[in-house]
Amino acid sequence: MIKAINRTRIKDIALRANVSIGTVDRVIHNRGEVSKATRDKILSIIDEMEYQPNLLASTLASKKTFSFALLFPEPISTESYWNKPMVGVRKAFHEIQQYGVNINIHLFKQSDPNTFNTEAQQILESNPDGVVLAPFFSRQSKEFIAELKKRAIPYVFIDSNIKDSDKLSYIGQDSYQSGTLAAKLLDYSIPENAAILVLQFAKEKDNLNHLMQREKGFYEYFNSNSTSGKKKLFTLEIIDPTDLIGQNKITDLLKSNPDIKGIFVTNSQVYYLARLIEENNLSGIRVIGHDLINENINFLKKGIVDFLICQRPEEQGYKAIITLFEHLVLKKEVNNENYTSIDIITKENLDYYK
């Protein structure tokens, strides 16, 4: 049964308690002096009448402003992954800006942890009401959130999670399970005695929490699954996928190890690998990467990339801002961890994925 929305007003409570509207207001907002007997009476009536304060109306009336700070990686191109969460951020902002919310955007370079520190310091100096950040660099992120904790500034993680932190909430994929899923897909789709390459396009991989968790999930699947123990696993780390030396390392490894029939790229740059496979006319290799960006879509359609694991970045950006809004403005309890779906996209279902 659906109940009608309760329309109890402060005036109704005052009439029922035989006190002034001002007395009820002082009890609701816990300010001013009210006798214990009167306070208890009013609180009892509030509970009985199921009164719910209109916090949005109060916020509009008070003209209070809320400052949110955003700390995201700078997109490496107009089509790259980190443009997508901003779509969700902008959507959320359009919905809540009337309630006095301002969002200040800070971007850092994905190849330079020092730029993270610089932007983080600017955020601390601005003393925002709340922060949404991608903890891209683990060490630098932990230092930053330690300062946020000292200042009692709530923060929401997006895209990557840091366990055992005092975050308000995490919005994103379970990176470990994403890696496990990739391992299972390759295990089921290549010959039993085939080899697999795990390819990392990253600088300071050990400092990139989400990539480490994906790799951990991938390897632990094979370590714990006795039926998959015959597969040989290679790992190759390439700092710059555009560098010719790095590209030659990949092609030399593939040509000298024809038993490699599956490749897992741990981030959204799988298109660099696909380009090499196409240029060198390599075939018979299953390829899994991450994220539905245009470069990856092109190779998915060609059949060079077989699977893309997607994590709804627009939804992550939207939910992160709304979560902070609900906590700070609406005073609501929010979930500590909000996992987005782990979606498998192929060329067959690409056109139906929203």
CA distance 163 to 143: 14
In terms of pTM, does the model score above 0.95? no
pLDDT over 50 (residue 180): yes
At 338 the pLDDT is 92
pLDDT over 80 (residue 50): no
At 227 the pLDDT is 58
Structure tokens at 246: 């790095």
pLDDT over 80 (residue 354): no
pLDDT over 70 (residue 7): no
CA distance 42 to 318: 39
Domains of the chain: 10-53 (1.10.260.40), 62-172+313-340 (3.40.50.2300), 175-310 (3.40.50.2300)
Residue 325 in contact with residue 171, Cβ under 8 Å?
no
pLDDT over 90 (residue 142): yes
Classify 248 as helix, strand or coil: helix
Q: Could you identify the residue written with the tokens 């018979």?
A: 284
Structure tokens at 199: 């390819």
Look up residue 191 and give its amino acid.
Answer: P
Structure tokens at 354: 């929203």
C-alpha 293: how far from chain center: 16
Q: Which of the four pLDDT bands, split at 50, 70 and 90, describes residue 1?
A: very low
Nearest to 231 by CA among 250, 253, 257, 206: 257
pLDDT over 90 (residue 205): no
201 exposure class (CB count in 10 Å sphere: 0-12, 13-18, 19+): buried
* Backbone φ and ψ of 160, nearest 5°: -135, 145
At 99 the pLDDT is 84
Residue pLDDT, tens place only, 220-234: 999 887 555 578 999
Top-confidence residue, 53 or 245 = 245
At 22 the pLDDT is 86
